[in-house]
Amino acid sequence: DGGGSIRIPASFCGVFGIKPSQGRVPRFGGYGRPAANQFSQSGPMSRTVADTAMFLQVLAGADPRDPTSLRQEPPDFSAGLNDGVNGLRIAWSADLGYAGVDPEVARIAGEAAKVFQGLGAVVEEPQLVIEDPFQSFWDAFATAAYTSYGHLLPEHQDDFSDYGLRSLEHGASISGADLSRALLRADVLRRQMELFFDDYDLLVTPTMAIPAFPIEDRPSVIGGKEVDPFWGFLPFTFPINMTGQTASSVPCGFSSDGMPIGLHIIGPHGAEARVLQASAAFEEA
């Protein structure tokens, strides 16, 4: 999950998935040629929160061969799945202050967020506004992609997907100054979200800005806002890759044409157990 690749399919397919905190799952042996990449993190998907928690328990742990690995034993991710959310302070945001969102998705996810009130949590809608971080994410993500896989372009250009090729070509164009600015922006966003979680235990948003769409019909406008056809439908997922925090997608309903919709449950760095606990409570509600 370097920009949403656990949470995107989980939301679009109606299953549960969690992106762990950066460093929770070691990367050694899991990538072909991993670049120095602050954003990507492996994690599990399954049909249920409980199965996913067990899967994460197997994946997580310190590994001295990975310089980004957390040097600590992971908690028991299954221990608190039945503890509920009573007393937790949960923030709801329909758009993070910048995103274009399909009105039906915003409505269904917003109704889902209210479920936590009935489970004993305090649910509020603070004025969380983040500056659109896409350009900074795109510059850093594409640079890492080019560093890892640019050597394949001369002989395998025709074998790449359209978005993969687009990433490599953009990464090849990024200067050192561009990358430095992008990483600084990620640091600023990370601090903003760390401070936000001083006041709230969890943040809840839609997972995706729209329901699943035909692959040949990428959206250019969502919620009345022009968006990038390759990245504009995931304005909620990639910022959490930039901050390194943890987030899940739990099924919360269906669109009018029967497509699954996911609820995005975001927690502070290291709070996978809390995110899983809230996800399990919602799943059982």
Ordered domains of the chain (ranges, CATH): 7-133+178-284 (3.90.1300.10)
**pLDDT, tens digit, for every residue of 215-248?**
899 999 999 999 999 999 999 999 999 999 999 9
Hunting for tokens 């742990």 — which residue is that? Answer: 61
| Mean pLDDT in residue range 158-167 | 91
Hunting for tokens 């649910």 — which residue is that? Answer: 123
pLDDT(99) > 60: yes
* Distance (Å, whole) CA 131 – CA 98: 7
Structure tokens at 269: 């760095």
pLDDT(30) > 70: no
What's the length of the chain?
Answer: 285
| Mean pLDDT in residue range 111-118 | 98
The model's confidence at residue 68, banded by pLDDT at 50, 70 and 90, is confident
At residue 109, the 3 state secondary structure works out as helix
Hunting for tokens 């609820």 — which residue is that? Answer: 263
Cβ contacts of 232 within 8 Å, gap of 6 or more? 100, 209, 219, 220, 222, 226
pLDDT(37) > 80: no
The model's confidence at residue 34, banded by pLDDT at 50, 70 and 90, is low
Dihedral angle sign, alpha carbons of residues 237, 241, 242, 244 = positive
* Distance (Å, whole) CA 218 – CA 214: 7
Name which of 93, 88, 125 is nearest 201 in CA terms.
Answer: 88
pLDDT(35) > 70: no
What per-residue confidence (pLDDT) applies to 31? 60
- Answering whether pTM is above 0.75, one says yes
**pLDDT, tens digit, for every residue of 239-262?**
999 999 999 999 999 999 999 999
**pLDDT, tens digit, for every residue of 149-158?**
899 999 999 9
What per-residue confidence (pLDDT) applies to 221? 97
